[in-house]
Chain A
């Protein structure tokens, strides 16, 4: 497709379960970002990839959060032993190349609800 695709759009899990969220960036986009958006808040940076390399993971809130992009295209954000505070919308964004003037193109997000 033409845009960033995220799946699933909605995910409900019980506390303690593991979840995996997928992001398909725009074809050819080198940079990929994950954000967490809590209700009524702006997106907060989680992690950043350039191709398959994870260059910044300073925003991951705990070691339960793990992201990968093994072939430099599709990325997966995994959350282990989910907690209620993990409930949020998880946004993925991609940009054409590394560079400070490149706008990021966002997917529609995955809304995660932990019961």
Chain B
């Protein structure tokens, strides 16, 4: 069965510094990987996805993620953090042969002004 791990409950970064939010996954088939962001009292918003191809994926709001097959990781990154990036971030995986998405527990990102 597929699973997702986000090892950090919270990440604090100073505004203007680069940020990384970690994610590792486990699937039996080919992984389809996603990052979503959630603001308070709102649903999840899609940021980016990896299906196949280039290991570096670019998404919304300047975020990008790097797929690493050997380390089964899909870390979210941004070169320069903004205070408005403060939110809850979820990594998700779909096994190639399945329809449902499995989400991690989330990482709360705090960008300090």
Q: Is A98 an interface residue (CB 8 A)?
A: yes
- Contact call A91/B101, Cβ cutoff below 8 A: no
Q: Is A56 an interface residue (CB 8 A)?
A: yes
Interface size on B, residues (CB 8 A): 25
Q: Is A67 an interface residue (CB 8 A)?
A: no
Q: Is A72 an interface residue (CB 8 A)?
A: no
Given contacts A41-B106, A45-B102, contact A4 B43 (CB under 8 A): yes
- Contact call A91/B32, Cβ cutoff below 8 A: no
- Contact call A45/B101, Cβ cutoff below 8 A: yes
Residue of B nearest to A105 (CB): B46
Which chain B residues have a beta carbon within 8 Å of chain A's beta carbons? Answer: 4, 32, 34, 36, 41-46, 49, 51, 90, 92, 94, 96, 98-106
A86 vs B43: C-alpha distance when bound (angstroms): 19
Q: Which residues, 77 to 115 on A, are CB-close (under 8 Å) to B?
A: 91, 93, 98, 100-101, 103-109, 111
Q: Which residues of B contact A48 (CB under 8 A)?
A: 99-100
A30 vs B51: C-alpha distance when bound (angstroms): 20
Q: Is A20 an interface residue (CB 8 A)?
A: no
Interface size on A, residues (CB 8 A): 29
Q: Is A44 an interface residue (CB 8 A)?
A: yes
- Contact call B99/A42, Cβ cutoff below 8 A: no
- Contact call B51/A101, Cβ cutoff below 8 A: yes
A-B pairs, 3 with minimum CB distance: A106-B43, A42-B103, A103-B46
Which chain A residues have a beta carbon within 8 Å of chain B's beta carbons? Answer: 4, 6, 31, 33, 35, 40-45, 48, 50, 55-56, 59, 91, 93, 98, 100-101, 103-109, 111
- For the complex formed, measure the closest distance between the CB of A88 and the CB atoms of chain B, giving whole angstroms: 14
Given A6, A40, A41, A45, which contacts B100 in the complex, CB threshold below 8 Å?
Answer: A45
Given A40, A44, A100, which contacts B103 in the complex, CB threshold below 8 Å?
Answer: A44
- Contact call B101/A108, Cβ cutoff below 8 A: no
- Contact call A41/B105, Cβ cutoff below 8 A: yes
- Contact call A59/B100, Cβ cutoff below 8 A: yes
Can you name 7 A-B residue pairings with CB atoms under 8 Å? A6-B43, A41-B106, A42-B92, A42-B106, A48-B100, A56-B100, A93-B43
